[in-house]
A and B are shown apart, each in its own frame.
Chain A
Amino acid sequence: MSRLIIEAVERVLQENSRAALATIIRAPESMGAKILITEEGARIGTLNDDALDEAVARYAPAFLASRAETKTISVEELSLEMEPERNALLMFERIEAEPRLVICGAGHVGAHLARLARMLGFRTTLIDDRADFVTRERFPDTGIELVAARTWTEALQREVGRNVYVAVVTRGHNEDEECLRAVLAAGPRYVGMIGSKRRTNIVLERLREQGASPEVLKEVRAPIGLDIGAVSPEEVALAILSEIVAERRGGTGAPLSAWRRSRRERR
């Protein structure tokens, strides 16, 4: 049983898929029993109760669609048809690989962004078309995947997929444009591009002229990052990651204390 679940979990993580793992955490019997429901609906393991397995499988898609990583739910909440006297409690856990951040450009901002992203648990890929910018000497942390690109388009084809965030921070606007064109075709969860309002407008306008859809272009975070008044490359990297974390977790980016001041104003 353990081995079946472990192997299935590892497969889900390797395949960049998602699954819900349900465990009985309070019940008169079958404590610790587990069932994994994959995104495709496959069931691995059992809670030793067919009706309960069925109810869990029905609930799993809604759990996966939420942002929650872990949630406890009682059997009564899960299904009205179940016998309430069981009084069992289940823990649902999201099985999903950490999000990937793909960084185009290993200059000052890109380099700090890569290190900071690692600290926050992102699988991190750093791409540059200058091979001497993406060496292990500069980035000894082997958790940062380094890609020396022959062309940006080719390098990005391999990288972009589901649960991927992309930061376009290359050295120039022609490079930014090439990256953005390649990235947009793949539809990442988030894409942002560095630059002033004016310069990012020029790049976006050129892409529009080349036939990119205005709806897609509107979703590009350009200029990239939250407004924290960042000045140094380290601070810019922080502003970018703040935006990415807010996107991932559903935050607003506003100060948590804002309510104090707005309440005072209302009086």
Chain B
Amino acid sequence: MATIAQAELYRLINEAVERGERVVVASVADTRGSTPQRRGAKMLFFENGDVAGTVGGGCIEAEVWAEAREALRTGTPALHKFSLTADEASEEGMVCGGTMEIFIDVWKPENSFQF
């Protein structure tokens, strides 16, 4: 999956929120060492199971998916640290070996009770 242009990213968030749905935005907030994605990389998770963008290959994607699903359910954002020691990475045949801090944010529809 490729990098999403900012205009596309916010269009997708807006559409989901307008539909009255939550959307989870996972962002690479910080990286240390060898990681598969740059700071600022983003991945979107929608209620219907669709995704867009990427925060980096197989190394951590499964874990990010799990946290994102949880955030969609609870509506609570959180900062997560994912580390890949060189051993783990090589065992899984992956090229990364650093740590990534990923902020899992939840964009919510406007609360109709707020003015």
B-binding residues in A (CB < 8 A): 1-3, 6, 9-10, 13, 23, 25-26, 31-32, 68-72, 89, 91, 93-98, 121
Assuming the contacts A2-B107, A2-B109, A26-B79, asked whether A72 and B10 have C-beta atoms less than 8 A apart, the reply is no
Q: Once the chains bind, are B108 and A31 in contact (CB under 8 Å)?
A: no
Which chain B residues lie closer than 8 Å to A25 at the CB level? 29, 77, 79, 103, 105
What are 23 A-B residue pairs whose CB atoms fall within 8 Å in the complex? A1-B110, A2-B17, A2-B109, A3-B14, A3-B17, A6-B13, A6-B14, A9-B10, A25-B29, A25-B77, A25-B103, A25-B105, A31-B76, A31-B78, A32-B105, A32-B106, A69-B39, A70-B29, A70-B40, A91-B27, A95-B6, A97-B6, A121-B5
A-binding residues in B (CB < 8 A): 3, 5-7, 10-11, 13-14, 17, 27-30, 38-40, 76-79, 101, 103, 105-110
Assuming the contacts A2-B109, A72-B101, asked whether A97 and B27 have C-beta atoms less than 8 A apart, the reply is no
Assuming the contacts A31-B77, A70-B39, A72-B29, asked whether A6 and B10 have C-beta atoms less than 8 A apart, the reply is yes
Which chain A residues lie closer than 8 Å to B103 at the CB level? 23, 25, 91
Which chain B residues lie closer than 8 Å to A91 at the CB level? 27, 29, 103
Min CB gap B88→A, angstroms: 24
Q: Once the chains bind, are A2 and B7 in contact (CB under 8 Å)?
A: no
Q: Once the chains bind, are B106 and A10 in contact (CB under 8 Å)?
A: no
A57 to B106, CA, bound (A): 24
Which chain A residues lie closer than 8 Å to B27 at the CB level? 70, 91, 93
Which chain B residues lie closer than 8 Å to A6 at the CB level? 10, 13-14, 17
Which B residue sits closest to A14, measured CB to CB? B7
Which A residue sits closest to B101, measured CB to CB? A72
Which chain B residues lie closer than 8 Å to A70 at the CB level? 27-29, 39-40
Assuming the contacts A2-B110, A6-B17, A72-B101, asked whether A89 and B6 have C-beta atoms less than 8 A apart, the reply is no
Min CB gap B22→A, angstroms: 10
Which B residue sits closest to A71, measured CB to CB? B39
Extra contacts besides A9-B6, A121-B3 (5): CB < 8 Å? A3-B110, A13-B7, A23-B103, A25-B29, A91-B29
